Homo-oligomer: A and B are copies of this chain.
Amino acid sequence: MSTERPFGKYGGQYVPEALMPALEELNEAYERYVLNNEDGFVDEFRERLRDFGGRPTPLQYAEQLSARYDRDIYLKREDLLHGGAHKLNNALGQVLLAKYMGKERIIAETGAGQHGTATAMAAAHLDMPCEIYMGETDISRQRPNVFRMRLNGAEVNPVTTGRGTLKEAISETMRDWAATVERTHYVIGSIVGPAPFPSMVRDFQAVISEEAREQLRDQTGSLPDSVVACAGGGSNTMGTFHHFVKDDDVGLYAVEAGGDSLSVDEEAGVAPNSASLSTGEEGVLHGARTRLLQDSDGQILESHSVSAGLDYAGVGPELAHLVDTNRVSPVNVDDELALNAFHRLSQTEGIIPALETAHAFGFLEAVEAGKRDAALGETVVVNVSGRGDKDLETVVEETTARDIDAGPDMDLFRQVGRSAGDGK
């Protein structure tokens, strides 16, 4: 299978031998159930996505943003999916597949906690025991999501190695998998990792573009001029792009986290951004050859973004390939643009986006302000990959700490912070 290399030079299976048989088993299951709908897997998956997940999600015309940018802006509302982000499409697909494969236990990594909560929800729904690995740092900055996973009955295993964030959590989950592979399925949270994960996760997420393409044609009779999505690992991105890839005239923009800055501090081993498509280089991480943030030796850099879900040094191999072949344009938006976009969308459209998602909207504004050059055209579809409830504390902190033009007056937040604190 790895010989197929659907993503050019990217992809592959760079994992310990102990996991290879599991990948072969998974690949076979992927082909049988997902690609060939054996035993009605795909039908059951779609039915559960509809009844449990709430699909289809709407494609909404955004009145205020369309006026502001003088283009027709359509929002694909993945924030309305159960759990609050696109993540459930994949988590539900994989947990269901694990069930078809006869696995008895689910493990997953999580950074922001969105994939972890989606997996915990799917596992509860399908009655599978579930353990989530999460870095200690992320555990303390994403408290509500830790609660949600625990409430759904999942164990949350704190990862104390390294900086205690997503990268370490993935490594740790792979280690668990290597020890328990026979009865355990590892639900990877994005289009990363060894084959067949990148293709499989994309297929589960592709429902986003399948619906959006159809919905836009129903609403306008035509295809969009461009499609915009944020990119961390890239699962919402490829999900939103997939069915448009063949439509050559549709521009595809993958918006990465520019973080504080695009430059790298080799000494400290830190890239103050997560822009692996824009600034990274080919390498091998977490089972796949892809574009990475790494130093000149090949050591992986610590990434940074105000949004925990984009804070990752790698990216899906398929996106790397589509960027190399000029089908997808990699762009990036820094923390400040993203925060401004967060507030703008909240205030003008009544949709509080995830900070990850806010990056996609930051790109629209950057183009409008002439800070980025892109021919977005008349009609733009933007994926609202998730809602921002999980980010409230971060946004309040970061907005108070910086000078965010579009932010509201922060006084009441401080006041509430105090009285809530006092009340305990």
Q: Is the CB of A59 within 8 A of B54?
A: no
Q: Quick one: closest B residue to A67, CB to CB?
A: B127
The contact sample of 11 A-B pairs, CB cut-off 8 A, is A51-B60, A51-B61, A64-B127, A124-B346, A125-B351, A140-B422, A141-B420, A143-B417, A147-B416, A150-B408, A156-B412
Q: Quick one: closest B residue to A147, CB to CB?
A: B392
Query: Cβ of A270: which chain B residues have Cβ within 8 Å of it?
Result: none
Q: How far is the CA of A405 from the CA of B261 in the complex (A)?
A: 50
How many A residues, CB 8 Å from partner? 61
Within A25-62, the residues touching B (CB, 8 Å) are: 50-52, 54, 57-61
Q: Is A347 an interface residue (CB 8 A)?
A: yes
Q: Quick one: closest B residue to A148, CB to CB?
A: B352
Q: Is A395 an interface residue (CB 8 A)?
A: yes
Q: How far is the CA of A125 from the CA of B54 in the complex (A)?
A: 22
Q: Is the CB of A57 within 8 A of B58?
A: no
Q: How far is the CA of A406 from the CA of B352 in the complex (A)?
A: 33
A interface residues (Cβ-Cβ under 8 A, vs B): 50-52, 54, 57-61, 63-64, 77, 79-82, 84, 120-127, 136, 139-141, 143-144, 146-148, 150-153, 156, 343, 346-352, 388-389, 392, 395-396, 408, 412-413, 416-417, 419-420, 422-423
Q: Is the CB of B408 within 8 A of A151?
A: yes
Query: Cβ of A140: which chain B residues have Cβ within 8 Å of it?
Result: 416, 419-420, 422-423
Query: Cβ of A395: which chain B residues have Cβ within 8 Å of it?
Result: 147, 151
The contact of A347 among B82, B124, B147, by CB within 8 Å, is B124
Q: Is the CB of A82 within 8 A of B351?
A: yes
Cβ distance A117 to chain B, nearest Cβ, rounded Å? 9
Q: Is the CB of A419 within 8 A of B139?
A: yes
Which 5 residue pairs are nearest across A and B when measured between Cβ atoms? Answer: A124-B350, A125-B350, A121-B350, A153-B347, A54-B80
